[in-house]
Chain A
Amino acid sequence: MNMPATKIEVETATPAATAAPVVAMTPKRAPRSEAYARMAREAAVRVVPPLVVIALLMLVWELVCRRAGSALPPPSKVFKDTKELIVDPFFDHGGIDKGLFWHLSASLQRVALGYSLSAIAGIALGVLVGQSVWAMRGLDPLFQVLRTIPPLAWLPLSLAAFRDGQPSAIFVIFITSVWPIIINTAVGIRNIPQDYRNVAAVVQLNPLEFFAKIMIPAAAPYIFTGLRIGIGLSWLAIVAAEMLIGGVGIGFFIWDAWNSSHISEIILALFYVGIIGFVLDRLIAGLGKVVTRGTAIS
């Protein structure tokens, strides 16, 4: 019984030893063009299907909306109507007659401010609730009720409090995006394995070091989940809030376009809103990936 078993081992061991360097050599000798071709193929696999779907949807839309008397413009008309806006997003004729870039940048500034505040407050409150049982018992029911209030329901109240559109919009962003950040941070803190706490205890980290070296990295994946949901919600809220407060901003631009029956402009604005929402989400996801590299449970 023993003999054949050892024999097989020897036989498999030798070819593996000689095969290894050959495997290591091949990628170096491979022609560069082949590598580019492979990269191009991979890119094509990812890019071609959505392009095909978009083209088909455009075609259907064109066919449906082409008829005379159709309520919505077909893509070709949208493009023709909004060509000026697309080509020159930077014009500024004073007041609210500005290029799309200015509207979008105004909205993004509000989101940046409100979201930053909610990230700071959300992580701080989340740590408190995750760390202290009494804070959780006291605050959690409150959070669970408050987080179900729709963003726009806060707007009249904040207008009454701040008596100005700008801080009100920022407050709405804040109050919309803060809940998922609090809740996810708290879950992350509560899920820190006892092992890590023991390590910190043996090494005698002080509370501040524990916070920086154990708590934040251990909870980072959860925190970034919260941050990602938060950025999505704040972008949702800003458009709605701006429709009501007026002034410069992509939300008001859409409302203004509707009031002046420029349906094509609305469609163009929606396109931009979608793209920017997507980019924001990717941005936070990418940041999370960089920061939490290696944090995944091993």
Chain B
Amino acid sequence: MTAYLKLDHIDKIFTRGNATTEVLKDINLTIEKGQYVSIIGHSGCGKSTLLNIIAGLTTASTGGVLLENREVNSPGPDRAVVFQNHSLLPWLTVYENVRLGVDKVFAKTKTRAERDAWVMHNLNLVQMAHARDKRPSEISGGMKQRVGIARALAMEPKVLLLDEPFGALDALTRAHLQDSVMALHQKLGNTILMITHDVDEAVLLSDRIVMMTNGPSARIGEVLEVPLARPRKRLELATNTTYLKCRQRVLEFLYERHRFVEAA
């Protein structure tokens, strides 16, 4: 297995005054190019912190992140993030939101016309080209998230980081968007790391599922390979024994061995 993205002995300790909390302990993970990996765990287990460390938005206390054997410790477009709450800039149109990143990343390598075409290409990928001149407040939650995905894709990231991308959406929109992400992954072959707390979503989308124990000092409890052929069809999988077995395995991990304990 060739490591494309490598998390090397990552610890994260938060210090506030005299109190220190160890959030993450000794996280080791290697991800191959083109893989879709999900990180699942109960809320508060530090999975978002882990994603922020990979994105470079926070720094690890010890250990580091290697992308193609080069250490990365500051944010950059090679690890574009799709944020949970879309984080589109409300004063820019859909087009301008995507263009902001494109202008920065391809400032030297693409001409104006090429950048314009590239923005439209990415909006087309997520089927949002029709709303190019709308502002985020004028489109629905699912549409906003699509634009968020287009913005991240347009930066041509080496790794696409998804931070609970479907968390704030209703079930139908979520399923629709999951299918879109699956199709995009199939088409573009991106390396994707997704944070989620939804078992079905994890099994449906991922090649591997990383299960995290409860915090504090959360570790990687188990890594599950999902040996399902792609393209995957939601309806067919509902009765697929491999799918059900994988699902069962994750559920057991989350609800038997590492049941969520309410923090006092």
Do A and B pair up? The answer is yes
Chain A contact residues, CB within 8 Å of chain B: 193, 195-196, 198-199, 201-205, 209, 213-214, 217-218, 220, 292-298
Chain A: minimal CB distance from B53 (Å) = 13
B window 80-97: CB within 8 A of A: 80-81, 83, 85, 87, 89-91
Alpha-carbon gap, A198 to B76, bound state (A): 10
Which chain B residues border A296 with CB–CB below 8 Å? 90, 137
Alpha-carbon gap, A292 to B81, bound state (A): 27
Alpha-carbon gap, A201 to B83, bound state (A): 13
Name the 6 nearest CB pairs between A and B, nearest first: A298-B137, A195-B87, A201-B75, A217-B91, A295-B91, A203-B101
Q: A198-B81, A202-B80, A203-B101 are in contact. Are A217 and B57 (CB under 8 A)?
A: no
Count of A-B contacts judged by CB separation below 8 Å: 63
Which chain A residues border B74 with CB–CB below 8 Å? 201
Alpha-carbon gap, A294 to B101, bound state (A): 20
Chain A: minimal CB distance from B62 (Å) = 22
| A199-B83, A204-B76, A297-B90 known, 5 other contacts, Cβ within 8 Å | A193-B87, A201-B75, A203-B77, A218-B89, A298-B135
Q: A203-B77, A295-B91 are in contact. Are A198 and B104 (CB under 8 A)?
A: no
Chain B contact residues, CB within 8 Å of chain A: 55-57, 74-77, 79-81, 83, 85, 87, 89-91, 100-101, 104-105, 135-137, 155
Contact A202 B76 (CB under 8 A): yes
Chain A: minimal CB distance from B64 (Å) = 18
Alpha-carbon gap, A198 to B80, bound state (A): 10
Which chain A residues border B155 with CB–CB below 8 Å? 202-203
Closest to B84 in A: A195
Q: A199-B87, A205-B104, A214-B89 are in contact. Are A294 and B137 (CB under 8 A)?
A: yes
Alpha-carbon gap, A293 to B100, bound state (A): 19
Contact A204 B57 (CB under 8 A): no
23 contacts between A and B (CB under 8 A): A195-B83, A195-B85, A196-B87, A198-B75, A198-B81, A199-B89, A201-B74, A202-B57, A202-B76, A203-B104, A203-B155, A204-B76, A204-B77, A205-B104, A217-B89, A218-B89, A218-B91, A220-B91, A294-B91, A295-B91, A296-B90, A298-B135, A298-B136
Closest to B148 in A: A199
- Residue from the set A196, A199, A213, A220 with the largest chain B CB neighbour count within 10 Å: A199
Which chain B residues border A205 with CB–CB below 8 Å? 104
Which chain A residues border B80 with CB–CB below 8 Å? 202
Contact B85 A213 (CB under 8 A): no
Alpha-carbon gap, A220 to B91, bound state (A): 10
Q: A201-B57, A204-B104 are in contact. Are A294 and B90 (CB under 8 A)?
A: yes
Alpha-carbon gap, A90 to B110, bound state (A): 60
Which chain B residues border A218 with CB–CB below 8 Å? 89, 91
Closest to A293 in B: B91
Contact A295 B75 (CB under 8 A): no
A294 partner, pick from B77, B79, B87, B135, beta carbons under 8 A: B135
Which chain B residues border A295 with CB–CB below 8 Å? 90-91
Closest to B79 in A: A202
Contact B90 A202 (CB under 8 A): no
Which chain B residues border A292 with CB–CB below 8 Å? 91
- Residue from the set A202, A203, A293, A297 with the largest chain B CB neighbour count within 10 Å: A202
